[in-house]
């Protein structure tokens, strides 16, 4: 571009043309607003050019679909009717150059900066073909051949691809051809144990196809709903002169399940009634176990709600995950406790309450799997002993052999027979806190004096050793060497939600809550709970 006025006018003409196109498009679709932004930028740069300012703004005009930066967005009038009015300005101005600048340009007070217009990264689904429900179907689609049988083998420890293929029935020649074809698509040294391989055989019993079921590709967000699987194929095609490899996307479909119940005899029984998968309930109990004593704190009409995610292979309908917990809530005597799963930017999963406080405490209130504990009020046969001057701990009535978990991480300080306590373990967590466990039937081998145990490690099994009337766990929390009531002692929580993750976390909660129904549990008030109980 020269610096003569003519060149400038020519350039302005180009810009106006561009605006005209954009205004026409606005009537059709919203993405045109993006182009308008680019045009504004160009006009602004033209203005800078006319005033003798050296601007670095790129004059490349094509940015359809590119995300807008905030500063660009701020110059776009939010009301499209005003854009239509301005297009009237444009119709008149078309043959009247030079022109005063349009209003919306004047409204832009921002400085011209070096903006690299982002290019669109295409979605995987746009690059990769969709996988097929079975290898037979894939072979039919891609090479127009028929398979007679399929054999699936699983990568075991110490396996190489060659060993695995041999086990599946592939002869040496095919094994090396397959390896060569697959190596184009993936690093064969990184095959994970447990990866499944399906070999396909034709009517001559020759191997002509292979499918690698690559484990989960990615997860993100609160529920990880963007997940997808990759399939890798090696197919023998005479037309293409041998083995070729191909990547294909296996889409997942996810379903949120919202489920809850009133707790009667035990959480376990109430959860079974509404068909909550056992592993989902275990996770619920693990998350809640830091805050709740499932034996003593459950009262008539208490209730729980959980939200979990079922992932299904969209091509075959096979259930891939039985139910990953993403929300855990419980109402105890009218008080609601709730936690949300959060996956951090680095992929770490944590549980927080609405305010970002961690669900995890330095010590658990219930150091056994609480799901199978029967709530105190429903129990007649086992007296459940509380905390008193005579009894300086809490008893959990659980069957003999139930695993006992380390309530917190720490060093085993005492392990072995201890008089009336029977088989006994004491863990020192820090200079303030210790926990003790008594009447065990057996002490786990890792729980030796001086050894460090992690929170949740199994340290022994419930029994009735020492002075005990029946199988139960006697549990003590010691603060500065004094036994305090585990039910009421204040326990420090683990580190809360980092500030940098707060916006993501709150957005995830809002998204989740927009997708689920408003149950009496969710719109909880004391009255609602009582009414729900009456209705039942
Ligand atoms: Zn006791």
pLDDT value at residue 521 = 84
pLDDT value at residue 100 = 45
pLDDT value at residue 319 = 78
Residue pLDDT, tens place only, 10-42: 555 555 555 454 444 444 444 434 444 444 334
pLDDT value at residue 22 = 43
* C-alpha of residue 347 to centroid of ligand 1, in Å: 41
Residue segments in the chain with a per-residue pLDDT below the cut of 70 = 1-126, 215-228, 371-372, 374-385, 525-536
In 3D space, the residue among 345, 319, 191, 301 whose CA is nearest the CA of residue 534 turns out to be: 301
- DSSP state at residue 374: B
pLDDT value at residue 143 = 87
* C-alpha of residue 461 to centroid of ligand 1, in Å: 15
Distance of CA 460 to the CA centre of its chain: 32
Output the pTM of the full model.
0.57
* C-alpha of residue 392 to centroid of ligand 1, in Å: 7
CA distance 409 to 412: 9
The alpha-helical segments, DSSP class H, found in 255-385 are 267-273, 278-288
Residue pLDDT, tens place only, 175-196: 999 999 999 888 888 788 888 9
The alpha-helical segments, DSSP class H, found in 194-312 are 267-273, 278-288
* C-alpha of residue 182 to centroid of ligand 1, in Å: 62
Domains of the chain: 5-106 (no CATH), 127-252 (3.10.450.350), 263-289+305-360+500-525 (3.10.450.350), 361-492 (2.70.70.10)
pLDDT value at residue 359 = 93
* C-alpha of residue 297 to centroid of ligand 1, in Å: 17
- DSSP state at residue 179: H
pLDDT value at residue 10 = 54
* C-alpha of residue 235 to centroid of ligand 1, in Å: 66
CA distance 220 to 230: 16
Task: Return the number of other C-beta atoms located less than 10 Å from residue 233's C-beta.
Answer: 26
């Amino acid at each position: 571009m020269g610096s003569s006025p003519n060149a400038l006018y020519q350039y302005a003409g180009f810009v106006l043309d561009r605006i005209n196109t954009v205004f026409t498009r606005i009537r059709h679709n919203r993405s045109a607003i993006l182009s308008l932004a680019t045009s504004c930028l160009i006009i602004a740069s033209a203005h800078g050019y006319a005033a003798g300012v050296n601007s670095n703004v790129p004059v490349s005009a094509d940015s359809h679909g590119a995300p807008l930066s905030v500063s660009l967005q701020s110059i776009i009038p939010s009301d499209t009717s005003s854009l239509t009015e301005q297009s009237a300005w444009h119709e008149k101005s078309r043959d009247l150059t030079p022109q005063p600048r349009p209003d919306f340009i004047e409204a832009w007070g921002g400085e011209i900066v070096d903006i690299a217009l982002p290019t669109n990264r295409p979605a995987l689904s746009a690059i990769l073909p969709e996988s097929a429900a079975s290898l037979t179907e894939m072979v039919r689609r891609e090479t127009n051949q028929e398979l007679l049988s399929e054999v699936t083998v699983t990568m075991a420890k110490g396996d190489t691809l060659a060993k695995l293929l041999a086990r599946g029935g592939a002869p040496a020649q095919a094994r090396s051809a397959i390896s060569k074809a697959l190596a184009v698509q993936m690093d064969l040294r990184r095959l994970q144990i447990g990866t499944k391989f399906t070999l396909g055989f034709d009517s001559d019993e020759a191997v002509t196809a292979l499918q690698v079921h690559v484990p989960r590709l990615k997860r993100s967000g609160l529920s990880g709903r963007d997940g997808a699987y990759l399939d890798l194929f090696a197919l023998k095609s005479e037309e293409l002169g041998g083995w070729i490899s191909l990547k294909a996307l296996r889409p997942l479909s996810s379903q949120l399940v919202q489920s809850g119940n009133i707790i009667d005899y035990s959480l376990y029984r109430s959860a079974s009634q509404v068909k909550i998968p056992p592993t989902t309930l275990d996770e619920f109990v693990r998350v809640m176990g830091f805050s709740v004593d499932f034996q003593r704190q459950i009262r008539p009409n208490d209730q729980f709600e959980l939200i979990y995610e079922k992932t299904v292979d969209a091509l075959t309908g096979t259930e891939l995950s039985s139910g990953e917990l993403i929300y855990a809530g419980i109402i105890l005597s009218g008080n609601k406790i709730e936690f949300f799963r959060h996956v951090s930017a680095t992929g770490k999963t944590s549980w927080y309450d609405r305010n970002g406080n961690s669900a995890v405490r330095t010590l658990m209130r219930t150091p056994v799997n609480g799901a199978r504990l029967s709530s105190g009020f429903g129990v007649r046969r086992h007296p459940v002993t509380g905390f008193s001057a005579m009894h300086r701990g809490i008893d959990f009535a659980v069957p003999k052999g139930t695993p006992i978990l380390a309530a917190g991480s720490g060093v085993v300080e005492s392990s072995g027979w201890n008089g009336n306590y029977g088989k006994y373990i004491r863990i020192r967590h820090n200079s303030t806190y210790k926990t003790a466990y008594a009447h065990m039937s057996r002490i786990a081998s890792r729980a030796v004096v001086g050894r460090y145990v992690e929170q949740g490690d199994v340290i022994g099994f419930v029994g009735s050793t020492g002075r005990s009337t029946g199988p139960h766990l006697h549990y003590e929390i010691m603060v500065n060497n004094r036994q305090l009531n585990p039910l009421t002692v204040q326990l420090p929580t683990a580190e809360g939600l980092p500030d940098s993750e707060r916006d993501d976390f709150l957005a995830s909660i809002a998204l989740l809550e927009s997708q689920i129904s408003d149950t009496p549990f969710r719109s909880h008030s004391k009255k609602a709970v009582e009414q729900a109980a009456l209705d039942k």
